[in-house]
Amino acid sequence: MKFKLLTAFLLISGFVMAQSFNIIPQPKLVNGKEGQFSFNNHATIGVNDTSLTELALYFQKEIGKAKGLSLAVTDNKSKAAIDLVLTNTAQSTGSYNLIISPEHITVSSSNKEGVFYGLISLLQLIKLDSIGDNGNIYLQACEVTDSPRYQWRGLMLDESRHFFGKEKVKQLLDWMAYYKLNKFHWHLTDVQGWRIEIKKYPKLATIGGMGNYSDTSAKAKYYTQDDIREIVAYAANRFITVIPEIDMPGHATAANRAYPEFTGGSVANYQNFTFNPANENTYQYLADIIKETNALFPAHMIHLGGDEVAFGIKAWSLDTAIAHVMVKRNFEGVNELERYFFKRMADTVSSLGSKVLAWDEATGTDLPADKTIIFWWRQNLPGQLHLALQKKYQVVLCPRLPLYFDFVQDTGHVSGPKWNGVFNGISSVYNFPDTQTPPEELNNKLIIGLQANVWTESIESEKRLDFMLFPRIAGLAEAGWTAPELKNEQAFNERLKASFKNYDNAGIYYYNPFDPSFHPEVVDFAPRIKIPKVQRYASNRISKRSHAKGRGRSKKQQKVSYASVERIHKKRK
Ligand code: TNX
DSSP 27-49: PSEEEEEEEEEEE-TT-EEEESS
Question: Residues with catalytic annotation?
Answer: 190, 251, 308
Mean pLDDT of the chain: 89
Exposed/middle/buried for residue 323 (C-beta within 10 Å: 0-12, 13-18, 19+): buried
Distance (Å, whole) CA 506 – CA 451: 24
How many C-beta atoms surround the C-beta of residue 477 within 10 A? 26
End-to-end CA distance of the chain: 105
Query: At residue 66, does pLDDT exceed 50?
Result: yes
482-505 pLDDT, tens digit each: 999 999 999 999 999 999 999 999
* Ligand 1 atom closest to residue 361's alpha carbon, by position in its atom list: 9
The predicted structure's pLDDT at residue 3: 46
Q: Domain 152-545 classified CATH 3.20.20.80? A: yes
Average pLDDT estimate for 348-373: 97
Distance (Å, whole) CA 547 – CA 9: 76
Residues of the chain with pLDDT > 90, as a percent, come to: 83
Which residue among 159, 308, 378 has the greatest number of ligand 1 atoms within 8 angstroms of its CB, and so is best to mutate? 308
Give one word for 165, left, alpha or beta, with left for phi > 0 and alpha for psi -120 to 50: left
Number of helices and strands in the chain (H, E):
22, 15
The predicted structure's pLDDT at residue 134: 80
The predicted structure's pLDDT at residue 78: 64
Query: At residue 527, does pLDDT exceed 80?
Result: no
What confidence tier does 133 reach under pLDDT thresholds 50, 70, 90? confident
Distance (Å, whole) CA 131 – CA 114: 27
Q: How many CA atoms lie within 13 A of 281 on its CB side?
A: 6
Compute the distance from residue 553 Cα to the ligand 1 centre, in Å: 27
Is the bond leading into 402 cis (omega within 30 degrees of zero)? yes
The predicted structure's pLDDT at residue 435: 84
Using an 8 Å Cβ cutoff, are 125 and 22 in contact? yes
Using an 8 Å Cβ cutoff, are 317 and 270 in contact? no
Residue 318: name the closest of 361, 241, 249, 265 by CA. Answer: 265
pTM of this prediction exceeds 0.85: yes
How many C-beta atoms surround the C-beta of residue 117 within 10 A? 28
Average pLDDT estimate for 107-126: 98
Which residues does ligand 1 sit against, CB inside 6 Å?
A: 307-308, 359, 377, 404, 406, 417, 455, 457
Query: At residue 532, does pLDDT exceed 60?
Result: no
Q: Rounded to an integer, what is the distance from CA 318 to the centroid of its chain?
A: 37
The predicted structure's pLDDT at residue 552: 33
Q: Rounded to an integer, what is the distance from CA 429 to the centroid of its chain?
A: 15
Compute the distance from residue 153 Cα to the ligand 1 centre, in Å: 19
Which residue among 307, 311, 540 has the greatest number of ligand 1 atoms within 8 angstroms of its CB, and so is best to mutate? 307
Average pLDDT estimate for 458-469: 98
Q: Which residue has the higher pLDDT, 564 or 389?
A: 389
Q: Which residue has the higher pLDDT, 443 or 247?
A: 247
The predicted structure's pLDDT at residue 77: 58
β-bridge pairing 105-109 and 72-74: unpaired
Compute the distance from residue 288 Cα to the ligand 1 centre, in Å: 26
Compute the distance from residue 106 Cα to the ligand 1 centre, in Å: 44
Task: Say which residues have a Cβ less than 8 Å from residue 520's Cβ, sequence separation at least 6.
Answer: none
Which residue among 401, 455, 528, 533 has the greatest number of ligand 1 atoms within 8 angstroms of its CB, and so is best to mutate? 455
The predicted structure's pLDDT at residue 436: 80
Query: At residue 538, does pLDDT exceed 60?
Result: no
The predicted structure's pLDDT at residue 535: 37
Candidate from 338-347, 356-365, 430-439 with smallest mean pLDDT:
430-439
> What are the DSSP E strand ranges found in 259-349?
301-305
Class of the CATH domain delimited by 12-146: alpha beta
Query: At residue 2, does pLDDT exceed 60?
Result: no
What confidence tier does 434 reach under pLDDT thresholds 50, 70, 90? very high
Using an 8 Å Cβ cutoff, are 312 and 250 in contact? yes
Q: Which segments of 94-213 does DSSP mark as H helices, in order?
A: 112-127, 166-178, 203-206
* Ligand 1 atom closest to residue 307's alpha carbon, by position in its atom list: 9
Compute the distance from residue 42 Cα to the ligand 1 centre, in Å: 51
β-bridge pairing 241-248 and 44-47: unpaired
- Torsions phi, psi of 139, nearest 5? -120, 135
Please list the residues that pair with 190 across neighbouring strands.
none
The predicted structure's pLDDT at residue 471: 98
Using an 8 Å Cβ cutoff, are 204 and 217 in contact? no
Query: At residue 566, does pLDDT exceed 90?
Result: no
Q: How far is CA 65 from CA 56, 220, 505, in A?
A: 14, 34, 11
The predicted structure's pLDDT at residue 79: 75
Delimit the domains of the chain by residue range. 12-146, 152-545
Average pLDDT estimate for 128-146: 89
The three-state secondary structure class of 545 is helix
b/e string for 45-68 if b means 16 or more Cβ within 10 A?
A: bbbbeeebeebbebbbebbeebbe
* Ligand 1 atom closest to residue 378's alpha carbon, by position in its atom list: 2
